[in-house]
Structure 1
Amino acid sequence: MDYSLTTRLAAEFIGTALLVMLGNGAVANVDLKGTKGHGSDWMLIAVGYGVGVMLPAMMFGAISGNHINPAFTLGLAMNGLFPWAEVLPYIGAQLLGAFIGQLIVVITYKPYFDQTTNPRHILGTFSTIDNTDSKLFGFINEFVGSFILFLGALGITKAPFFQDNLGTAHLALGFLVWTLVASFGGPTGPGLNPARDFAPRVLHAILPLKHKGSSNWDYAWVPVVAPIAASILGIFIYKSLFM
């Protein structure tokens, strides 16, 4: 079935909002004081992001392709696998979805944001931070994680093994992200997605939250540029070798 651009944009908007709500919601549950999940381990966050990708993939994979990530949209377009005319509308829907998704997280967790005095924990529920404050190592981490993500995502959805059951392929995407957060999430968060980092960072800068501190804009280019570069390369390699 062919879906209109408007329908596909709605899917991208809702899918990206769900990703941010479930992923950053898990971070908020772990890092904000007073929640029942406060102090839980990293696997809770990994599950949040894994299912945050899996659920939209199962819902919208057959409608919009479930990009929910500007880096994926750009990587596909750069490699001739997605029309350039739809790139900006897709990215706009993704950024807006991430913004609204983060706003819902803030509204839901507002009393716990007020109790939290560590500004890094507050920013970490919005956007990524390299734990050593290194742009170089932050870039390396984001690039490696994103490369695996996009190479894996294209491989899973285009592999002959899954062509008779794309639903299973989209289910597998959630496990891919879950594993990436568990394996490579420690240093930066991770981002792996410019919309998931940039739009919430804008909201962090706007909102008058107590103890929020800096939005760390000098680092903000890292989780935008690294995933885009990794996406272009990862999709190029898969397309060149296997398509």
Structure 2
Amino acid sequence: MSSSDIFIGEVIGTAVLILLGGGVVAAVVLKRSKAQNAGWLAITFGWGFAVMTAVYMTGSLSGAHLNPAVTVGIAIKDGDWKNVPVYFAGQLLGAMIGAALVWIAYYGQFHAHLTDREIVGDPTEKAIEGPHDEARSHAGPVLGVFSTGPEIRNVWQNLATEILGTLVLVLAVLTQGLNDSGKGLGVIGGLMVALVVVGIGLSLGGPTGYAINPARDLGPRIVHALLPLPNKGGSDWGYAWIPVAGPLIGGALAAGIYNIAFA
């Protein structure tokens, strides 16, 4: 694979991943969506199908890592770091593009949700209440369309949850999902990894929303900060390092376990 193939494949694949994954969250969360309140099962299966679609679409170009934690795991397994920066750049750019496409697809729903008085409160009350107003506290879940956040804010628990979820994902990739070259996901591996992502969401997604992918969280969080969404609330940058560091640690640990137990 050439560097250009890797970059293009990761941009397209990660953009599709976030478009479909972020799209199912928007469908479930936002007002005036036909799928509003469809629930956690819809979100977990939607993300699984997003992974499967993106993998099959771009596997032949880049190996469809679509996740810096997967890239790190494969690099540690093989001892080959040459293309890691190219993968990272493509994944982050693709995630940002995908998040912007979610905003375009759900533009009317974002506007309806973030201007609804039941959600954001009365603008006159906002002026009285000051910086910690109802709009900030009630509109905050919209950030969940773009990135993850904990239900209980506990640094060690949140970090551990992201490490464990990503460890399971990357170990599954390394043991079951790679193609013949060992550089990316194979045909059967794409389906298997998609089902693993569903399983992680159902089993370990409750505490933090299971980022298990630094680009998936950081890229859309940047887009959330930049988009002109009314009453959108903050982008929670104080938490943002956890869904980046946790998956990278989990991916590295998975590669270490693989090299000790399976290689």
TM-score, normalised relative to structure 2: 0.85
Is 1:95 equivalent to 2:92 in the alignment?
yes
Q: For the Cα contact (< 8 Å) 1:32–1:121, is it kept in 2? A: no
* 1:145-164 superposed matches below 5 A: 145-158=165-178
Partner of residue 22, structure 2:
24
Is 1:180 equivalent to 2:177 in the alignment?
no
- Cα offset, 1:74, TM superposition: 2.1
1:193 alignment partner, one of 190, 213, 229: 213
1:109 alignment partner, one of 106, 109, 121: 106
After TM superposition, which residue ranges in structure 1, 4 or more long, deviate above 4 angstroms?
Answer: none
Partner of residue 132, structure 2:
none
24-33 or 66-75, which moves further after superposition? Answer: 66-75
Partner of residue 47, structure 2:
49
117-126 or 224-233, which moves further after superposition? Answer: 117-126
56-65 or 175-184, which moves further after superposition? Answer: 56-65
Partner of residue 130, structure 2:
none
- Cα offset, 1:173, TM superposition: 1.0
Q: Percent identity?
A: 39
Structure having the higher Rg = 2
1:9 alignment partner, one of 7, 10, 15: 7
Q: Distance in 1 between matches of 2:254 and 2:144?
A: 27
Q: Which runs of 5+ in 2 are unaligned?
A: 114-118, 120-137
Q: Which runs of 5+ in 1 are unaligned?
A: none
Q: Distance in 2 between matches of 1:60 and 1:41?
A: 29
Q: For the Cα contact (< 8 Å) 1:57–1:173, is it kept in 2? A: no
- Cα offset, 1:80, TM superposition: 4.8
Partner of residue 76, structure 1:
74
Partner of residue 162, structure 2:
142
2:205 partner letter: G
1:40 alignment partner, one of 21, 34, 38: 38
Q: For the Cα contact (< 8 Å) 2:162–2:208, is it kept in 1? A: yes
Q: Distance in 2 between matches of 1:119 and 1:139?
A: 25
- Cα offset, 1:9, TM superposition: 1.4
Say if 1:204 and 1:158 are closer, same or farther in 2 by CA, change over 3 A.
closer
* 1:202-217 superposed matches below 5 A: 202-217=222-237
Q: Distance in 2 between matches of 1:200 and 1:82?
A: 30
Q: Count the aligned residue pairs.
A: 236
Q: Distance in 2 between matches of 1:177 and 1:90?
A: 20
Q: Distance in 2 between matches of 1:237 and 1:113?
A: 43
Q: For the Cα contact (< 8 Å) 2:12–2:94, is it kept in 1? A: yes
